[in-house]
A and B are shown apart, each in its own frame.
Chain A
């Protein structure tokens, strides 16, 4: 569903190549970009701020506006989100080291559905950026071809790289949370 909608937008955009309608692309893509970010960055308000930054970057990159703007947007969105995630993880680690400003999760938070999501986010923050990007974009519904375009990869190597990313994710997950995990 998502992919087909994306392709339509992409086709429409190609038709408008000569006169790039920035507002149209903003209105068409902003919601998706914000949601992509919000999957990684839990705070929706922050996700929207980052989405605006993604579009500012698009606005400043005329080349990106013409060639594969959508793939470009997703890649930048995922990178921004992961940067934010890593920044938060680093800060959390620092705070836990420093100790006195540590914020313990409330029991409610611990037992909410969000707990599993937080585990996944933490794993995404600590495995290699290339792995996380690939996994997130794939999970966003991008095809191998679209992944190759978005991440500037050879189409033939996408499968291998994806398998490696999945393995890295699983290894990290297992080493952190063990082979048994409660969320099924």
Chain B
């Protein structure tokens, strides 16, 4: 009963003769042999796959629930909450560090004691770092020929003006080879409002000075709080200074004590 294929080109017979022929063809499709689907085995396999999936799903739920519970506990207990808040503050501080320090620079680490030094200012008076203990010190290694230094010096003058009454001081350590010969006219011209000294290798080496400008923020205990190689991030730096100074009233008393 092979249909005459030429007749079916008009499509009209498709649903009748040709259609029946197609139905007949498809009807011959049958599973091979005496095979019968095994329902019990199928159901067992289904359950196996389902429980595997269910467990996979639950593992995630458990992990998320455990994490959420840990967070809640951490925030519910005051001592942990403080810890978390401190962590948060620290991470905040890290993300807005006052500038970049590349890994190959042997700068002092945060928390290390800033090496003491005694150098002379333009009047010949001693400037001793340890004398500033109790104040927040911004130590800036610079030179008159250093372009980046010229950019940040006005900022440093701004910080000095704004925060000196709260126990903050900038110390500029000039690394000019010819010393006061270059620096004195520069100070006269720019009218720097903070102490400037001429640095020596003996002083710069412990600070890991490799390139300029380089800036250290030193806390009231004389420990390094932040480092920047290159031009400081002005806003982050100011933010950090304010953090180190603490609330205005408390640092006033501390300042008087010292």
Residues on A with C-beta less than 8 A from B30 are: 39, 117
Contact at B37–A170, with CB atoms within 8 Å? no
Contact at B5–A56, with CB atoms within 8 Å? no
- Interface segment, one of B43-51, B98-106, B157-165: B43-51
- Interface segment, one of A3-11, A99-107, A134-142: A134-142
Contact at B29–A121, with CB atoms within 8 Å? yes
Asked if B11 lies at the interface with its beta carbon under 8 angstroms from chain A, I say yes
Residue of B whose beta carbon sits closest to that of A53: B49
Also in contact, A184 and B1, with CB within 8 A (given A166-B15, A170-B8, A170-B18): yes
Contact at B11–A56, with CB atoms within 8 Å? no
Flag B14-36 by CB within 8 Å of A: 1 or 0 each. Answer: 11001101110111111110011
A48: contacting residue among B8, B29, B38, CB under 8 A: B38
Asked if A92 lies at the interface with its beta carbon under 8 angstroms from chain B, I say no
Q: For window 122-145 of chain A, which residues contact chain B by CB distance below 8 Å?
A: 135-136, 138-139
The SS class assigned to the A binding surface is helix
- With both chains docked as a complex, state the minimum distance between the C-beta of B3 and any C-beta of chain A, in angstroms: 8
Asked if B78 lies at the interface with its beta carbon under 8 angstroms from chain A, I say no
A31: contacting residue among B11, B37, B49, B53, CB under 8 A: B37
A to B contact number (C-beta, < 8 Å): 109
Contact at B22–A135, with CB atoms within 8 Å? yes
Asked if A51 lies at the interface with its beta carbon under 8 angstroms from chain B, I say yes
Q: For window 40-65 of chain A, which residues contact chain B by CB distance below 8 Å?
A: 40, 42, 44, 47-49, 51-52, 55-56, 59
Interface centre among A26, A30, A135, A159, by most B CB within 10 Å?
A30
How many interface residues does chain B have, given as a range?
Answer: 20 to 34
- With both chains docked as a complex, state the minimum distance between the C-beta of B228 and any C-beta of chain A, in angstroms: 55
The SS class assigned to the B binding surface is helix
Residues on A with C-beta less than 8 A from B6 are: 179
Asked if A23 lies at the interface with its beta carbon under 8 angstroms from chain B, I say yes
Asked if B42 lies at the interface with its beta carbon under 8 angstroms from chain A, I say yes
What would be 16 A-B contacts, judged by CB atoms less than 8 Å apart?
A26-B39, A34-B42, A39-B30, A39-B31, A44-B31, A56-B53, A114-B32, A117-B30, A138-B23, A138-B26, A139-B27, A139-B29, A170-B21, A173-B25, A179-B2, A179-B6
In the A-B complex, the 8 residue pairs with the smallest Cβ-Cβ separation, listed nearest first, are A34-B37, A38-B31, A139-B26, A39-B29, A166-B22, A163-B15, A179-B5, A44-B35
Which A residues fall within an 8 A CB radius of B? Answer: 23, 26-27, 30-31, 34-35, 38-40, 42, 44, 47-49, 51-52, 55-56, 59, 114, 116-117, 120-121, 135-136, 138-139, 159, 162-164, 166-167, 169-170, 173-174, 179-181, 183-184
